[in-house]
Each structure stands twice: as C-alpha cells, then as structure tokens.
Amino acid sequence: MTERVKETFGGYGTGAPPPAPAALAAKVRTLAPSMTRSVQRVAEAVAEDPAGCAALTVTGLAELTGTSEATVVRTARLLGYPGYRDLRLALAGLAAQQRSGRAPAITTDIAVDDPIADVVAKLAHDEQQTLADTAAGLDTTQLAAAVSALAGARRTDVYGIGASGLVAQDLTQKLLRIGLIAHAHSDPHLAVTNAVQLRAGDVAIAITHSGATGDVIEPLRVAFERGATTVAVTGRPGSSVTRYADHVLTTSTSRESELRPAAMSSRTGQLLVVDCLFVGVAQRTYEAAAPALAASYEALAHRHRSVPR
C-alpha cells in the first residue's frame, strides 16, 4: 500500500529538458522500435496528421486509433510531454507552422474557377506586392519637393479620371481636413477652366496610371504654363504627362490579368503615394494641422464610445 508507483515511461523519461520543438516526426521514427503496438499506432497517427489530431480529445484519438485513453496518454509521455494536453498544444503549433510553410502558390494569376478563399489571398498578396514595389521605387527627393510645394501652396488642384479620380478625391479630402485649399476635378472642361486660374505658388497634381490620359494632361499643361508647380503621379515615368510635371512620383503596378485589370492594382500604389504626400504635408504644417487632426480623431473616438454594443 505504501508504494504508489506511477508509470513513468522510458523514452525521454522523467527529466527531459526540452519538451519538443517541431521535429516530432523524427522523434516518432526514432522511438518507434521501442514502442509497443498500441502506442505505435497512436504515434503514427499523430505524426501523419498533426493538424487533425490536434483537433481531437483524448477519447477521440483513442477511438480513431482503436486504443484507449490511457494509451494515448502513455504515447504523449513517451514523446516527452507531461501529458496529452501538452502534446496537443505542440501539435497545434506544428500544424500552424506547416500551414504557413506552404504558401508560395499565390504567384499564379487568378483563375475563373479559383475558390473564393484563394481570390482573397491572391488579391491581398498582390496589393501587398504593389505597396512594397511602390515604396521601394518612390523617389524621396521628388516626394519631398512635392510636399514642400503643397505645404506652401495658395491652392491645390488635383486632376484624375475614372479610378484615378477617386484617388484625387481622396487626396483632396485629406488636404482639406488639415486646412489646405484643394479641389479635385474629374470634369476635363472644368479642370481646364480652373487650371487657368493657377499661378506661381499654386500646385497642380495629375493622377494617371497610363500617363497618357489626355483629359488629365491638358489641365496639367495649362497649370504648368501658368507657372504653377506641377506634380504627376503615374505608373509610366516616361509618358507624356511627365512632360509638364516638375515632380514625377512613380507608382509600381503588379502584373495585371484578365480578372485583375490594371486600374485595380494601380489604385493601391497611387493611394500610397497620396498618403505619403498627406502625411508629409501634415508634418510640415504641424502647428496648423494638429488641431484639425485631433478634432477628427476625437470625433471618431466619441463615436466608438457611443456604440458600446
């Protein structure tokens, strides 16, 4: 009655220093010969499908392998864990690693029959790539010059059409919020009409992916000739629009394909550039911009609190 002898299994035994990293399959192979039949079955199942086993309880795994709970626990001990619970945690970790390991399949184009989850992954990956490329390819000198011009501008006009028009509006909204005078123009006629009003000290920005959108180039040309500081945000650094641009900000675009038109990925890069312009200007005009930023932040924070549930 005195001797309560616990089954301490061999293997990594009582004082195993490291529980186990990720080389679980290897350990299973190493220890396999010294295992009994039942334990072996459990160990095999575990090594074969870590993810699946991680989802099972002791009882579940016991049933799956046609053994008992006790055997499952014994297996866990043999593999160096204090109990099944810990083995299960390690298994979950292993599964996560395996999952993250294989993911280079995103490089393919989006196909018509791709499952929706793949679409999400591919699109996200693609836009991330666009961001990285644009950031890397952005000429900070040009950017700094554009920011300086904006920060000191009397007024700013932004031209863009189609998808680029939305980017133009985005920039305008932000600049307005920190006290600058900015307008976005999508209507070519109105754009030119307004461009005539510009003069030295004003800024005109043209946003066009192709760099060849006449309706956007024209107002920029007018502004340029009027003496305004002109900026082009384009994906084609050698295109026509740059002829009338004092500063050229280049966006990178990833491969386009049938299901992912150029407009889609260009937009991402354009927005990054526009954000950089905005933050740059906000830094330069911090004294004036800070209250406005704080105000909009406050407004939002208030909203959040008022919606506790």
Partner DNA sequence: GTCACCCATGAAAGATATTTTCGGTTCCGT
Partner DNA sequence: ACGGAACCGAAAATATCTTTCATGGGTGAC
Residues in region 109-148 near a second copy by CB under 8 A: 110, 112-114, 116-117, 119-121, 123-124, 127-128, 131-132, 134-135, 138, 140, 143-144, 147
CA distances from residue 79 to 11, 12, 36, 228, 271 in whole angstroms, order as listed? 7, 7, 13, 74, 52
Of 2, 15, 18, 37, the one binding DNA by CB under 7 A = 37
Residue 277 binds DNA (CB under 7 A)? no
Q: Which of residues 5-24 bind DNA (CB under 7 A)?
A: 5-7
Distances (CA, A) of 18 to 7, 80, 136, 267: 20, 8, 42, 50
Q: CB-wise, 74 or 236, nearer to a second copy?
A: 236
Q: Which residues of 12-45 are buried (b: 16+ CB within 10 A; e: fewer)?
A: beeeeeeebeeebeebbeebeeebeebbbbbbbb
C-beta of 84 vs 278, nearer to DNA? 84
Q: What's the min distance (Å) between Cβ of 132 and DNA?
A: 28
Question: Encoding tokens for residue 38?
Answer: 């039942």
Residues 44-73 touching a second copy, rule: CB under 8 A, are 54
How far is residue 87's CA from residue 75's CA, in Å, rounded to a whole number?
A: 9
Residues 6+ apart with CB under 8 A from 198: 155, 157, 204, 222, 223, 226, 227, 228
CB-side exposure of 132: number of CA atoms within 13 Å? 7
CB under 5 to 8 A by kind: which of DNA, a second copy, none does 283 bind?
Answer: a second copy
- Residue 76 site contact among a second copy, DNA, none (CB < 5 to 8 Å, cut-off depends on kind): DNA
Nearer to DNA (CB atom), residue 164 or residue 240: 240
Q: Which does 135 bind (CB under 5 to 8 A by kind): DNA, a second copy, none?
A: a second copy
Would you tell me which residues interact with DNA (CB under 7 A)?
Answer: 4-7, 36-39, 57-59, 66-74, 76, 82-86, 88, 308-309
